[in-house]
Structure 1
Amino acid sequence: MVLLRRRARRGVALRSWVRGSEVAIVALAALIGGAVGLLAWGMGAAARGLHMLLFGIGPQFRLSSATFVPSWRLLLVPMLGGLALFALNLALKRWRPKPPVDPIEANALHGGRLSLTDAAVVGVQTILSNGVGASVGLEAGYAQAGGGIASRLGTAFALRRGDLRVLVGAGTAGAIGAAFDAPLTGAFYAFELVIGTYSIGALFPVIASAVTATLVARGLEAGTYAVESVAPSVVDNALYPLALLLGALCGLAAILLMRGVASTEALLSRAIPSAALRLMLGGLCVGGLATVSTVALSAGHGALHLAFITETPARLVLLLIVVKALASMVSVASGFRGGLFFASLLIGALGGKFFAALVAMAAPPGPDPLVMALVGMSAFGAAVIGAPLAMTFLALETTGSLAVVGLVLAAVAVAGLIVRRLFGYSFATWRFHLRGESIRGAHDIGWINDLTAGRLMRRDPRSVPEAMELAAFRAAVPLGAATQVVLLDADGRYAGIVAVAEAHAAPPETATLAELARHQDRVLLPRTNVRDAMAIFEAAEAEALAVVDGPARRVLGLLTEAHLLRRYGEEVEKRRREETGIGPG
């Protein structure tokens, strides 16, 4: 018993030290990075193992660039893989009926709380989807694993909400850094998509995780999604207008792709109610496209490597773009698990090469196709993924050329601006929107939903019958005894609010309180969040509103606008301090 108490005290002391030490959180992030690097290697190896087993390719080949896969494998493996995924989903649904929460959603709504079980579920689903050839990447599984491990450790150490959100971002940074052998790309992926903001306090744990995970993956020779390219160290300034034009075209094309996924999904859901048949048909369609070109299969990193090192006629490049885009849309829309991260890089790179070929036809010799491929890859990726700086750093870590990065940054900015103004979503937030979630990014809005009228209201408001005579009210509620009084009808339901000062100043001909009642039709519900409540107060021009239980209109409490604004301001300041690291959370 004494030993158990000592262990408990040590555990409490350790948690207190981690919660209060920035160095400890950085060390925890590095530990997470090591685990995530190992996991990324394992997931990539598992997917490649399925490629070799199911499609009969050698370990030296990549599925999307293989040219000798028999047609029967191309058709049957994705289709039967869709059936296998349906069976897996059915089994998982009985065990885990609630849909998984991804790191962006967790940081936006749940303060960084993410289930490790969800990470395992998404990981298995993405490995199977990618392994049977569906045109999806493993990025969702990588990010889910990194965020899940980070959230579990952070919760074990009872980290504050702000620190836990940063740690989840650090986990995803390590996952993406290890997957692409690009720590800066992973770090800024976390800042832009998972944490939602950049701060000095978040920099150290995110970088620690990204670098550690990348080093572990390199040590294991993972290189799952490593992008390799050689670019010139000097570029002509005349290429900047072309980069801006290519960025604009990438932005418009990205919107078409994202809307295409949603439209295809809606069409398949209406036409084929059975999830099993949708997955099998989706797999068959991907297999059919693969008979045209294997670029349709899997994430496409083999095809991207070939796009950088080979010369391809413009017609063939256009065909590859169409094949990959259709395969990606059908794969995601039919229910295969995964994202468009790597597919968008491949489509963008091919689009850049096609753009260079068109310019060369109009004004020979045209720009360097490799440079335009890098620009297109980054611009289209930024437009779809919603992480412009991450894509810029990917180009830098891919090429090591600062000159090319200037072109990339210009194109990425234009593509991002067009998507932001004309569409307003990245692919991830677009999927949230289709599910009915009002999430535009990973900015912490969960506390807004937690700060409700039910939590803020005063639970014992003064109430009187609406039929009460004015003289009796003045005697029962003198000036200074209360500011607002709730009126109730004969059945005890809400009937309005009366200001005590107004009741005492009312003219003698006023018989009952009902004549002074205000806001009879303006009420708050217990689950009304703080922002919605502020909008209701502004529309009603009220100083106080009643909180009722719904249609029964039973009064639960009273909330004043002054208290609402004060509590909102306190929470905003608290989040600001957490993000900037200038005070306790």
Structure 2
Amino acid sequence: MLNKPYRSPSTSSFLDNLRLSRLQSLLRRGELGLVVLAAIVGVIAGLLVALVSFLSNGLHWLVFGVEGTLSGSNITGHIVLLGPIIGGVLLGLIFFVLSKTRKKPMIDPIEANALHGGRLSLTDSIIVCVQNIISNGFGASVGLEAGYTQIASGAASKLGLKLKLRRGDLRLMVGCGAAGAIAAAFDAPLTGAFYAIELIIGSYTVLSLTPVIVSALVASLVANQISEHGLVFEIATADNIMPVDYVPAIVLGIVCAGVGILLMQAVSFIEETARKSAIAQPFRPFIGGFIVGLLGLVSPQVLSGGHGALHLNMNAQSSIWMLLMLFLLKSFASAISIGSGFRGGLFFASLFMGALIGKIFAFGVPFFHGVSVDPGIYAVVGMSAFAAAVIGGPMTMTFLALELTGDFPITALVLAAVITTSLVVRVSFGYSFATWRFHLRGESIRSAHDVGWVRDLTVGKMMRADMRTAKVGIGLEAFRKEFPLGSTQRVIMTHDDGRYAGIVLVPEIYADPMERSGENLTLERFLRYQKDVLLPTMNVKQAAALFDSTQSDALVVVNDRIENRPAGLLTESHTLRRYSEELDQRRREASGEF
């Protein structure tokens, strides 16, 4: 029997690194490697969506005794109230443990791609996904889409980090994970792909299109092999769309924009009220669960994401008052659920509420003269427009309507509505639900467009530490002896205790027309930029703005505002050159030029 050759640990490590290096080289060589990796991410996303859906449905059966969709059931009794309360207690316990063990805030895929170059913690993603499963499984009025995208994007980011992908490629993989998650959830590959492009990656490029679509297609296929996913609507067709039919669709888009803004502000108001109250965070989900349970006693359609309720109401004949009551109940339940701390998103809830708005709006469609479209179609138009207002992504919602109905004329009406909605929201409000929450936290981002590199390129990384310094009390003659003309362009002056005093330009000393001698002559009148300083934490844009406002060629970097001790020197030319280099690098990554 032949023995295997012995390999030392160092030899095995070297071979592993060599294989990894070859794999990285393959992925960086061209687009084909990224497409293969995107397909792998799609498989992972499809499996994870099926798993999360299975666990949530299992909780519905275990807690409420319901098979299938919770919001579409006729469940009654005390369990409707107790389910969300129990879920709130469990979430409260999780919040209590996390407050002791994890201090850093958890980030989502949009923030990861905008600020962190696609770096997303898989551990945090699993925690968020578990919280989402508990929230949805115990009846809180939130969907699972946030959990789907979080866990799939987290897994994609982890894979990309293991392979040491470039910043642009890592962001692309996070987008592929989100695309696969949404595609698998709705059995809608185009919707998933454009969700990633519009909301997660933040821009469309030829390089990103193929991997994202491949991931979405593969994820949808994988999820369908495991269980049935997606939505299919049977509604009246719209064969003869007339120009006049676009008028009510556009009006409906404006209505959805206004109501969507009110919903986003309501959620933020509830969150802010809970944060400012004396109620500790672990107790807030319990209170929120109690309120949601009470609303569930009025109508179980407000529970969970709303898949079953959407099917029930899409073609049902209901009075305007019944639809209005259900919309108010669902919107209040969703706002309370998220505001009190339940994990989840408003993706599907916004689809359900938008369909209700469309059906309510349909009662007024006969007042539009010459309209030939069946009023029920406006449920689809309202669904897409309201989701575009809350979630963002007008093309995402347009393709969702197309893939759910398979009707191109209806999709044309949807496109008119969602474009109107997006324009109104962008002009009057400026944020989607995700970016509005970033704004409330003090972040300035409005999309997933990569701005994190600007923050990473700080003054501390660009400054030079080898600066020439002197005490401000040094005499003019002594200064001239120590710094002859041509020895340096500028000298950093400090007080006796080391604090920054200003900058002296050496040519100005020698250009002074007055004859001066003696050690008692000071340099006070030659000091410049005594108050204008940079901090190491400032980013390149802030530094460039300060150079522009002070009209300075160079500024001193101090350690902080309190000690005010010189730490380095930064010139305007170097700042602008580094900024230009990074911009060019981002452009080459986006266009596929490596």
- TM-score w.r.t. the length of structure 2 is 0.94
* Structure 1 match to 2:58: 49
- For residues 157 and 409 of structure 2, what CA distance do their matches in structure 1 show? 39
Please give the alpha-carbon distance, in whole angstroms, between the structure 1 residues aligned to 2:382 and 2:515: 77
Report the more deviating stretch, 463-472 or 24-33. Answer: 463-472
CA–CA distance in structure 2, aligned partners of residues 41 and 247 of structure 1: 33
2:231 is the counterpart of 1:226:
yes
Q: 1:458·1:558 contact (CA, 8 Å) conserved in 2? A: yes
State the AA in 2 paired with 1:317. L
Q: CA deviation at 1:178?
A: 0.4
- What does residue range 38-117 of structure 1 map to in structure 2 within 5 Å? 38-57=47-66, 59=67, 61-67=68-74, 69-117=75-123
What does residue 570 of structure 1 align with? 581
Are the aligned partners of 1:227 and 1:301 in contact in 2 as well (CA < 8 Å)?
A: no
| Cα distance in structure 1, aligned partners of 2:97 and 2:492 | 53
Question: Per-residue deviation at 1:95?
Answer: 4.3
Q: What are the within-5 Å matches in structure 2 for residues 471-486 of structure 1?
A: 471-486=477-492
Deviations 1:116-155 (A, max 9, x none): 1112101110000000110001111111111111111111
- Secondary structure of the residue that 1:78 maps to in structure 2? helix
Structure 2 residue matching 1:335: 3-state secondary structure: coil
Q: Does the aligned pair in 2 maintain the 1:134–1:298 contact within 8 Å? A: yes
Q: 1:242 aligns with which of 237, 248, 259?
A: 248
Q: Secondary structure at the match of 2:279?
A: coil
Residue pair 1:461, 1:558 contacting (<8 A) in 2 also: yes
Q: Provide the residue aligned with 2:534 in structure 1.
A: 524
Shift in alpha-carbon separation, 1:92–1:274, aligned structure 2, 3 A: closer
Aligned to 2:4: none
State the shift of 1:416 in Å: 0.9
1:398 corresponds to which letter in structure 2? L
Range that drifts further, 252-261 or 279-288: 279-288
Q: Partner of 2:3 in structure 1?
A: none
- Structure 1 residue matching 2:376: 3-state secondary structure: helix
State the shift of 1:107 in Å: 0.8
Which AA in structure 2 matches 1:530? Answer: V
Report the CA distance shift for 1:99/1:492 in structure 2 as closer, same or farther (over 3 A): closer
Distance 1:135 1:81 in 2: 12
- Give the 3-state SS of the residue equivalent to 1:185 in structure 2: helix
Distance 2:333 2:470 in 1: 67
Does the residue aligned with 1:305 lie in a helix, a strand or coil? helix
CA distance 1:231–1:114, change in 2 (3 Å): farther
Answer whether contact 1:272 1:278 (CA < 8 A) is retained: no
Aligned partners of 1:151, 1:383: CA distance in 2, in Å?
A: 28
Asked if 2 retains the 8 angstrom alpha-carbon contact of 1:44 and 1:222, the reply is: no
Q: Deviations over 1:167-201 (max 9, x none)?
A: 11011100111011111111111111111100011
| 1:335-358 Cα distance to aligned partner (Å, 9 max, x none) | 000011111111111101101112
* 1:533 counterpart = 2:538: no
Q: Please state how far the C-alpha of 1:506 moved relative to its aligned partner.
A: 2.2
After superposition, the CA RMSD in angstroms is: 1.8
- 1:547 aligns to 2:557 (yes or no): yes
Q: What is the CA–CA distance in structure 2 between the aligned matches of 1:470 and 1:407, rounded to whole Å?
A: 79
Query: Alignment length, in residue pairs?
Result: 579
SS in 1 for 2:493: strand
What displacement does 1:331 show? Answer: 0.3
Distance 1:170 1:62 in 2: 28
Distance between the aligned counterparts of 2:577 and 2:228, measured in 1?
52
- Unaligned ranges ≥5, structure 1: none
CA distance in 2: counterparts of 1:217 and 1:354, whole angstroms = 34
Q: Secondary structure at the match of 2:78?
A: helix
Q: Does the alignment pair 1:561 with 2:572?
A: yes
SS class of match (2:484):
coil
Q: 1:123 aligns with which of 129, 152, 164?
A: 129
TM-score, normalised to structure 1, is 0.95
Structure 2 distance, partners of 1:227, 1:324, is: 22
1:459 aligns with 465
**Equivalent residues of 2:202, 2:449 under 8 A apart:** yes
Asked if 1:281 is matched to 2:287, the reply is: yes
Q: Mind listing any 5+ residue stretches in structure 2 that lack a counterpart?
A: 1-7
The one-letter code matched in structure 1 to 2:348 is: F
The DSSP-based 3-state class of the residue aligned with 1:71 is: coil
Q: CA deviation at 1:436?
A: 2.2
Deviation (angstroms), 1:222: 3.3
Structure 1 counterpart SS, 2:464 = coil
Distance change (3 Å), C-alpha of 1:350 and 1:13:
same
* Distance in 2 (alpha carbons) for counterparts of 1:236 and 1:324: 34
Contact 2:117–2:171 (CA under 8 A) maintained in structure 1:
yes
TM superposition shift of 1:462: 1.1
1:65 alignment partner, SS class? coil
1:305 CA displacement: 1.4
User: Matched residues in 2 for 1:470 and 1:165: separation?
Assistant: 56
1:356–1:366 Cα contact (<8 Å) kept: no
Distance 1:526 1:4, change over 3 A: closer
Indicate the residue corresponding to 1:515 in structure 2: 525
Query: Percentage identity across aligned positions?
Result: 50
Q: Residue 460 of structure 1: CA displacement? A: 0.9
One-letter amino acid of the counterpart of residue 560, structure 1: T
Q: Deviations over 1:354-390 (max 9, x none)?
A: 0111233686988523221111111110111111110
SS at match of 2:71: helix
Q: Report the AA paired with residue 211 of structure 1.
A: L
Residue 29 of structure 2 is matched in structure 1 by 20
Letter paired with 1:579: A
C-alpha contact (below 8 Å) 2:114/2:449 kept by paired residues: yes
Moved more, 283-292 or 17-26: 17-26
Taking the aligned partners of 2:99 and 2:236, their CA distance within structure 1 comes to 48
> Structure 1 residue 201 and structure 2 residue 211: aligned?
no
Q: Does the CA-based 8 Å contact 2:203-2:449 persist in structure 1?
A: yes
Which of 317, 330, 350 is matched with 2:323 structurally?
317
| Aligned residues of 1:449 and 1:530 also touching (Cα < 8 A) | yes
CA shift, 1:473, in A, is 2.7
Shift of 1:66: 1.5
1:470 counterpart letter in structure 2? L
2:572 counterpart letter in structure 1: E
Q: What letter corresponds to residue 24 of structure 2 in structure 1?
A: R
Change (3 A) 1:508 1:79: same
Q: What per-residue deviation string (whole Å, max 9, x for no partner) do you get for residues 472-503 of structure 1? A: 33343233322222111122211011222222
Q: Work out whether 1:149 is the aligned partner of 2:155.
A: yes
Does 1:29 pair with 2:38? yes
Go from structure 1 to structure 2 and tell me whether the alpha carbon gap of 1:114 and 1:216 turns closer, same or farther (over 3 Å shift).
same
Distance 1:336 1:3, change over 3 A: closer
Residue 300 (str. 1) matches residue 306 (str. 2): yes
SS at match of 1:99: coil
Distance 1:268 1:7 in 2: 51
